[in-house]
Amino acid sequence: MEPGVFDPDRFRDEPSMTARQVAERAGVDLETAKRTWRALGFPDADDDEVAFDERDLDSLRSLSALVSFGFPIEDLITMARTYGQAMSRIADAETRLFHERFLKADEPADEATLDAIVPRLLDLVGVTIENIHRRHLSSALRQLTQAHPENSGSLLAVGFADLVDFSTISGDLPGGELSSLVGHFEELAIEVCTGTGVRLVKTIGDAVMFVSADAEAALSAAMEIVTTAASDSVLPPARAGLDMGDALPLGGDYFGRPVNVAARITAYALPSTVVVSKDLLEHVGREMDVSRIGRRKLKGVGEILLFKVKGKRESD
- Residues 129-160: pLDDT tens digits? 999 999 988 887 877 665 544 444 579 999 99
pLDDT digits (tens, 9 = 90+) for 267-307: 999 999 999 999 999 999 777 889 999 999 999 899 999 99
- Would the pLDDT of 3 be above 50? no
43/260 Cα distance (integer angstroms): 33
Mean pLDDT: which of 4-18, 56-70, 111-125, 281-295 is highest? 56-70
Q: Tell me the DSSP string of 213-254.
A: S-HHHHHHHHHHHHHHHHT-SSSPPEEEEEEEEE-EEETTEE
Single-letter amino acid code for the residue at 165: D
Query: pTM for this structure?
Result: 0.71
| pLDDT value of position 211 | 95
Give whole-number Cα distances, 260 to 75, 252, 257, 264, 273, in Å: 24, 17, 5, 6, 19
- Please give the average per-residue pLDDT across 149-177, as a whole number: 79
User: What band does 19 get if pLDDT is binned at 50, 70 and 90?
Assistant: very high
Tell whether the torsion through CA atoms of 214, 254, 154 and 302 is positive or negative. Answer: positive
In DSSP notation, 159-217 reads EEEEETTHHHHHHHS-HHHHHHHHHHHHHHHHHHHHHHT-EEEEEETTEEEEEES-HHH
Alpha-carbon distance of 174 to 65, in angstroms, equals 50
The listed range with the strongest mean pLDDT (79-88, 224-233, 303-312) is 224-233
Q: What is the pLDDT of residues 218-241, one digit of tens each?
A: 999 999 999 999 999 989 999 999
**Which of 9 and 135 is assigned the larger pLDDT?**
135
CATH entry, 150-312, from 3.30.70.1230, 3.90.1200.10, 1.10.1240.10, 3.30.1330.60: 3.30.70.1230
Say how far residue 181 (Cα) sits from the centre of its chain: 19
Domain residue extents for the chain: 8-144, 150-312
